Amino acid sequence: MELLSYKLWIYFFILTRLIGTFFYIPFINSNMVPRNVKIFIAIFLSYLILLNDNSNFPIDSSAMLIVYYLIVNFIIGITIGIVTNLIFYAVQFAGEFIGVQLGFAMANVLDPTLNEEVSILSQFSYIFVTFSFFIFKGHILIYNLFIESFNKVPVLFKLNGENYLIIASKISDILLIGLQFSMPIIAFMIFIKIALGIISRLMPQMNVFMVGLPLNVLVGFIIYMVVIVSWNEQFTKLFFEIYHWIENTMILLSK
Query: Residues 142-200: pLDDT tens digits?
Result: 888 888 888 877 777 776 666 666 666 666 666 677 777 778 777 877 887 788 778 77
Give the separation between CA 86 and CA 25, rounded to whole angstroms: 10
User: What pTM did the predictor assign?
Assistant: 0.76
Q: What is the pLDDT of residues 134-149, one digit of tens each?
A: 888 888 888 888 888 8
C-alpha 120/C-alpha 96 separation (Å) is: 8
pLDDT the model gives residue 61: 66
pLDDT in tens, 79-114: 888 878 888 888 888 888 787 777 776 667 666 666
Rg of the chain over Cα atoms, rounded to whole angstroms, equals 23
Instruction: Give the integer Cα–Cα distance in Å for 61 and 6.
Output: 10
Q: How confident is the model at residue 1 (pLDDT cuts 50, 70, 90)?
A: very low
